[in-house]
Structure 1
Amino acid sequence: MAMENSPHKAAIIGGGVIGGGWVARFLLNGWDVAVYDPDPEAERKIAAVLANARRSLPALYDTALPDEGKLIFCSSIAHAVKDARWVQESAPEQLRIKHRILAEIQQHADENAVIGSSTSGFKPSELQEGASRPGQIVVAHPFNPVYLLPLIEIVASEQSDKAFVEGGCAILRDVGLKPLVIGKEIDAHIADRLLEAVWREGLWLVNDGIATTEEIDDAIRFGFGLRWAQMGLFETYRIAGGEAGMAHFIAQFGPALKWPWTKLMDVPDLTPELIAKIAAQSDAQSGALSIRELERLRDDNLVGMMRALKKSGSGAGGTINDHEKALSDKKPASGPHTLPQTVCRQVPQSWTDYNGHMNETHYLEAFAQASDTFMALIGADDAYITKGKSFFTAETHLRHLAEAGAGDTITITSQVMMAEGKKMHLFHTLYGKDGGIVATCETLLIHVDLTTRRACTPDADVAGRLKEFGDAHAKLAKPDGAGRHVGQTNA
């Protein structure tokens, strides 16, 4: 399984948490990867990281990743770095160890290869001390998990050629990363300095008995952490300044930096020159959008992130799930003698496509929600599923009759067409904001034992409740479109 002369080969020196993440990032983006790590458990540990990466990284994309490259474990640094275009050192954070490893890498690596160090604290000039080709070594500081988070801090020294650094950044972009080139050397670069400030303050809050670790984490993950995830620090505060912008925000809140709120009291004086500098940079960063446009962008991003968190119930997602359940519990129960309203909701912005209306994927999602609601009505709810039984969708037919846009309120009613034995046949009708029919969905569900994954009859109470709805709905008119097939004309 030799890799010599591969045009896309990376060498990873050190296969711990960070090194394993680098392996996954390159390998899953089609690069061949050679690993050197003296730890006898390295292969097992990296295999575990790869299992997680294979599960999660492709889920970010709506197109397939390249075929995986080849992975080999090498017995020496010399073997690993041979013919590699990118060499990543992820050794322990001790300068003496890094110097020894970097020297051995340079002894055997191609002189045109980029040698990146995962160091979170050392400056590139410190790493380059005594190096045979100092300009070849750059800081390439990633964030865990490396295979998912895109940011890589790239820090070069005055001895590094700009074209060489840009070539290295092109390699990182090729594997889906976001290189942030830092213009000046500083200990711990940018991101970790910000994290360190928050970390220090957190330690003081715990030390002084002000807050627990959970309370501090909640303050981040339920609040400003969500804003930071999509707008960072300065753009978030720009919005806080309202239509008057960043200069107004600093003028209003800047003096608070001198108040005794924090243990970190060494702050720069907010001189007119500094305020003007920050305001100008903020204008360059965000001035193309109005405050209202920035607010809408922020809100759309927040909705998308928090909706994603609902699935796992983590952070704000758990709060939304709890509130959603409370709202549902307040709704009056639907009896069998009327068509139950199984969905009433707003169309989120993320459900619309390039045509500006609700995407067919999300029509199916809305109708699936209607089926789930109806299942709960007849007793096939979460508790029933936990006991090992449920309904599986066997066949579905959708009709798209009109459009629904972001912000529209849609409702769905559900009619039982057949309820016998293991089968449940439903007809859902989706109404738009003006009360007109936007879409219909006819679906056949089969009752299944989740242990055997085979069809079986429902429990007596579920079967009885389903029959009540079926008998009542049989007296209603057959809905328009029931029984249609794809392409059938109205004649």
Structure 2
Amino acid sequence: MAQKAAIIGGGVIGGGWAARFLLNGWDVAVFDPDPQAKRKIGEVLDNARASLPGLYDMPMPDEGTLSFHDTMAGAVDGAAWIQESVPERLDIKHTVYRELQDACDADAVIASSTSGFKPSELQENATRPQQIVVCHPFNPVYLLPLIEVVGTDVNKDMIGGVEETLRGVGMFPLMVKKEIDAHIADRFLEAVWREALWLIKDGIATTEEIDEAIRMGFGLRWAQMGLFETYRIAGGEAGMRHFIEQFGPCLSWPWTKLMDVPELTEELIDQIADQSDAQSGQYSIRDLERHRDANLVGMMRTLKARDWGAGAILNTHDKTMNQTRVVPETLGDIVDLGKPVKTVDRAVPIDWTDYNGHMNEARYLQAFGDATDRLMGIIGCDAEYIATGGSYFTAETHIRHLDEVHAGARIHVETQVILGAGKKMHLFHVMYEGTRILASGEHMLIHVDLETRRASDPAPQVAEKLKRLAAAHAGLPRPEGAGAAVGVR
């Protein structure tokens, strides 16, 4: 039975939370008095369904059930997690908590998305203050992994469970040791925001020029390495100490106005709004969200390939999602050796599509290459084996493109071993969306001694597993298209 999360407040942040929980298999109940809440959350979910699954190389859980409720009591009934994302006014939050605690389970987590209030302020006069904890996310909540988790002494016993739940939906909980206004990340953002306001007010830069300075330069560095690691590199071989000695004195120079804030007059507000319209007014908000999501998926998948930063979180969540072995990792995980082996089960990422809107040729090869890699791992030709000096090299590939597939589609590949003897491994992959056949990929591989770079027999433990699988598949019909030349159907 799926766990249940209640979302109190379905705006940009609340909608992102709903998508994060729902796509990770939780049932989600929403309370939001806005008559447009259903439409708005539906649009956020459309974006999330198109982007989030594409971060992973494993299938995400089946979606939970989404429901909307006229009362908070109805939404929180049976909920293990309650995410509050109401406006940033302490009196409103206190009123909401009183109503929530009258209706919710006593051991439910009440997590606030607040970007500014400290947990001790939220807990004031609460019936059960230990339930209330800060879980501050970053937009889009369904893609970005960072969550700032802040508690107090009264709920220190529950924080471990909060961290475990958030990791279970693919997030990175940053456990803030001491409560402070605006937590950690927003304090940086506010500092940059203040300086940006002065640059605009003083006529030095426009909104577009400021954004270009960030996204063309240090924003890219920060995305994969943060602040201190970036500056450590700037110190050269002497490291951080040299950097501080070199650049530390400039901190006393009168460069910045960070301790002073320009008055947000109507004139300055109009100036910022007009510049922003000139910069981005040609795009709708939904257009901007889709561009943002596609860019984030591309960068995060690059980080994933390096097992670095946010990408390492995705790799960990992939392993969590494959604990049921929907894609087997060893021969022992396969229930029926006599059937083709499921070697890939995943969503098609946004960055796998081309100008025609469907998956491009290189990505078919990547999917089938991933299927081959998985089959190699199943028979024991894994990283540990390859490190001993043996591996399979692909000698020939033939791909047939049989139907279109688009971003977001859940595809799976089934692999049949046609030959597994001596130095040869002959595989036939079929790609499906549901029961619809999309493509086939036929691979002939040769086992190679990595030192001599010449064909060689595999080690006995690999040869034996491949032989077992090939023998089990020998009774299967020869796949349609196997052995075909280009142009032959």
TM normalised by structure 2 equals 0.57
Asked if 2 retains the 8 angstrom alpha-carbon contact of 1:156 and 1:185, the reply is yes
Equivalent residue, structure 2, for 1:167: 161
Give the number of equivalent residue pairs: 314
The answer to whether residue 128 in structure 2 is matched with residue 133 in structure 1 is yes
Query: What letter is aligned with 1:171?
Result: T
Query: What letter is aligned with 1:250?
Result: I
Equivalent residue, structure 2, for 1:75: 70
Pairs within 5 Å for 1:93-172: 93-160=88-155, 162-172=156-166
Tell me how far apart the structure 2 counterparts of residues 23 and 240 of structure 1 sit (CA, whole Å).
Answer: 41
Query: What letter is aligned with 1:85?
Result: A
1:74, CA displacement in angstroms? 1.1
Tell me the SS of whatever aligns to 1:245. Answer: helix
Pairs within 5 Å for 1:306-455: 444=486
1:264, CA displacement in angstroms? 2.1
1:443, CA displacement in angstroms? 8.0
Equivalent residue, structure 2, for 1:46: 41
Equivalent residue, structure 2, for 1:220: 214
Consecutive aligned runs of 4 or more in structure 1 exceeding 3 Å deviation:
297-302, 308-313, 353-361, 393-403, 442-445
- Structure 1 residues 214 and 130: alpha-carbon distance in aligned structure 2, compared to 1, 3 A threshold: same
Tell me the SS of whatever aligns to 1:100. Answer: helix
1:163, CA displacement in angstroms? 2.4
1:17, CA displacement in angstroms? 0.8
Equivalent residue, structure 1, for 2:470: none
- Structure 1 residues 251 and 298: alpha-carbon distance in aligned structure 2, compared to 1, 3 A threshold: farther
The answer to whether residue 212 in structure 2 is matched with residue 231 in structure 1 is no
Tell me how far apart the structure 2 counterparts of residues 59 and 45 of structure 1 sit (CA, whole Å).
Answer: 22
Question: Which digits, 9 at most, give the CA deviation of each residue in 1:128-176, with x for residues without a partner?
Answer: 111111121011111111111111111112322x220111111111111
Tell me how far apart the structure 2 counterparts of residues 364 and 121 of structure 1 sit (CA, whole Å).
Answer: 56
Tell me how far apart the structure 1 counterparts of residues 391 and 223 of structure 2 sit (CA, whole Å).
Answer: 26
Asked if 2 retains the 8 angstrom alpha-carbon contact of 1:121 and 1:188, the reply is yes
1:229, CA displacement in angstroms? 0.8
- Bigger relative contact order, structure 1 or 2 (CA pairs below 8 A, ≥6 apart): 2
Tell me how far apart the structure 1 counterparts of residues 200 and 140 of structure 2 sit (CA, whole Å).
Answer: 27
Question: Which digits, 9 at most, give the CA deviation of each residue in 1:239-291, with x for residues without a partner?
Answer: 1112222122111111111112211269xxxxxxxxxxxxxxxxxxxxxxxxx
Tell me how far apart the structure 2 counterparts of residues 83 and 298 of structure 1 sit (CA, whole Å).
Answer: 36
Equivalent residue, structure 2, for 1:207: 201
- Structure 1 residues 185 and 443: alpha-carbon distance in aligned structure 2, compared to 1, 3 A threshold: farther
Asked if 1 retains the 8 angstrom alpha-carbon contact of 2:232 and 2:239, the reply is yes
Query: What letter is aligned with 2:95?
Result: R
Indicate the RMSD between aligned Cα atoms, in angstroms. 4.0
Tell me how far apart the structure 1 counterparts of residues 63 and 350 of structure 2 sit (CA, whole Å).
Answer: 29
Tell me the SS of whatever aligns to 1:236. Answer: helix
Tell me how far apart the structure 2 counterparts of residues 53 and 232 of structure 1 sit (CA, whole Å).
Answer: 26
Of the structure 1 ranges 215-224 and 8-17, higher mean CA displacement relative to structure 2 is found in 215-224
Give the unaligned 5+ runs of structure 1.
Answer: 1-5, 267-296, 314-342, 344-350, 369-392, 406-441, 446-482, 486-491
TM normalised by structure 1 equals 0.56
Q: 2:171 aligns with which of 177, 184, 192?
A: 177
Question: Which digits, 9 at most, give the CA deviation of each residue in 1:291-329, with x for residues without a partner?
Answer: xxxxxx999689x99xx999899xxxxxxxxxxxxxxxx
- Structure 1 residues 310 and 38: alpha-carbon distance in aligned structure 2, compared to 1, 3 A threshold: closer
Identity of aligned residues (%): 62
Pairs within 5 Å for 1:9-20: 9-20=4-15
Q: 1:33 aligns with which of 24, 28, 33?
A: 28
Equivalent residue, structure 1, for 2:287: none
Equivalent residue, structure 1, for 2:257: 263
Pick the structure with greater CA Rg.
Answer: 1
Tell me how far apart the structure 2 counterparts of residues 298 and 50 of structure 1 sit (CA, whole Å).
Answer: 23
Tell me how far apart the structure 1 counterparts of residues 38 and 140 of structure 2 sit (CA, whole Å).
Answer: 18
